Amino acid sequence: MTTDKQNDPGKDRRSPEMLELEITKLAKAGDFSSAEKLRNVLLANHPMALTSIIATGEIIEAEKSLGIDKNHLAIWDNLYSRLSQEEQNCIFYATKKATVAANKIMIRQGKPVARLLFIDNGRVTLFHSKGDERILLGQLSRGDVLGEETFFNLSNPTFSAGAQTEVRLRYLDKTATRDWDEHHPGLYQKLADYCLQNSRASQLQQQKNIEKRLFPRKKADCKLTAYVLGEDGGRSGESFRGSILDLSRNGTCFEIHCPRAETAQALLGRVIDLELEPEPHASDGRMILQGIVVKVGILLHNDFTIHVRLHSELSNSEMAKHLIEE
C-alpha cells in the first residue's frame, strides 16, 4: 500500500534502520513495488546510509529471485543463464502471465503488435498470406519466442500466428522496457540478440523461401526529401531528408537521421511523398513517388531505415535513373 510518506519522502522521519526493517518486511511478503518505493524514500532521506541502501537492494533482488517461476526458469535457461540475477528479475517481473485458448489468432499479418511472447507450453501455427494463397510455415512450441520480428524492429508482422492448442505464455509489453537503458544498461540488447539468434519463426520463413517482395530491390544512390501526408492527402508540413539505399519497381528503402526514436516510429503506416533529387546536370526535374511506410529499421546513433511500399509501379527507365551500376 502506498502511503503519504512514500509519495512525499520529506514527511517520512523514520531512521535508516526502521526503513530497512520495513523494506525487508515488504520484500519478504512479495510486495516489491512498495518495497522499491520505500527504498527510494531511504535513498532520498538518508543518502549516506550506505549499509542500509546496499542491504535493502540485495534483499529485494534476492526475494524476487525466490519468487521466479522455477518451471519457466528451466524452460528459458538458455536465456536466463546469460543474465545477472538483477537482469533475470527485471525480465521476469516485467512480463505478465497469460493463457490463450485453442484456435485463437495471436498475431495477424500486417497488424501492428508491440509484445514479445515467451511460449511456456502449447503449440502455435504460423502461416503467411500472399494474395488468396495461405502458406503454412510451421509450428512453434515450448521454449520458442514469438513477436521478435516487430518488437525489435518498427514494422508490421509478415505472418499470422494462431494457437493450435491451449497456449500458456508470458508476454513483455514494449512500454515495459522504456527505463531499461537507465536502470539495466545493455539488457535490451542482450534480449534482442537472444531472440534474433534463436528465432524459429525466422528460420521457418527462410526454409519456406517466402519472397515478400514482388520485385527484386537493387542498390540505388540518391538524395531525397520526404513529406508526410495528412488525412486529406495533402502535405502536413512534416518533412525530412534522407538517402535512398535500394529501389524496386514497387518499393524503396532510405536512411534518415532522427534524434528521437519515437518520431521515427510514428512514421509506420503513414503515407508519404518522396521527392528524388535529379543527378547533377540532368535534363529532367525531380521524380515524385508516393507510398506507405511498412517498416522502420533501427541502426546506430539515431539513424533509421525507412521501408516504403509504393502506390504505383516504376518503369525500368524510371528506376535506371537512380540505380548503382554493379
Examine the domain organization and report whether 307 and 203 are in the same domain: no
Examine the domain organization and report whether 176 and 84 are in the same domain: yes
Task: Give this prediction's pTM.
Answer: 0.66
Residue 35 is predicted with a pLDDT of 81
CA–CA gap between residue 140 and residue 123 (Å, rounded): 6
Residue 149 is predicted with a pLDDT of 82
CA–CA gap between residue 308 and residue 294 (Å, rounded): 6
pLDDT: is 85 or 130 the higher one? 85
State the total domains in the chain.
3
Residue 122 is predicted with a pLDDT of 96
The mean per-residue pLDDT over the stretch 87-93 comes to: 92
Examine the domain organization and report whether 243 and 314 are in the same domain: yes
Q: Which helix (H) or strand (E) holds 97?
A: strand 96-100
CA–CA gap between residue 35 and residue 56 (Å, rounded): 9
Residue 326 belongs to a domain: no
CA–CA gap between residue 105 and residue 92 (Å, rounded): 25
CATH classification of the domain holding 310:
2.40.10.220
Examine the domain organization and report whether 278 and 153 are in the same domain: no
Residue 325 belongs to a domain: no
Pairing of strands 251-257, 235-247: antiparallel
How far out from the chain centre does Cα 80 lie? 19
Examine the domain organization and report whether 180 and 225 are in the same domain: no
pLDDT in tens, 262-314: 788 788 888 999 998 866 555 565 788 999 988 888 777 788 889 898 998 88
Residue 163 is predicted with a pLDDT of 95
Domain encompassing residue 78? 70-208
Domain boundary pick from 67, 84, 104:
67
pLDDT in tens, 43-76: 888 888 888 888 888 877 787 877 788 899 999 9
Residue with cell 531525397: 224
Nearest alpha-carbon partner for 204 in 269, 160, 163, 237: 160
pLDDT in tens, 201-233: 888 887 776 555 567 778 888 888 999 998 888
pLDDT in tens, 126-180: 998 877 778 899 999 999 999 998 888 777 788 999 999 999 999 999 999 988 9
Does the pLDDT of residue 6 top 60, yes or no?
A: no
CATH classification of the domain holding 139:
2.60.120.10
Does the pLDDT of residue 83 top 60, yes or no?
A: yes
Domain boundary pick from 40, 67, 94:
67
Residue 13 belongs to a domain: yes
Nearest alpha-carbon partner for 203 in 146, 164, 132: 146
Q: What is the mean pLDDT of the chain?
A: 84
Examine the domain organization and report whether 202 and 74 are in the same domain: yes
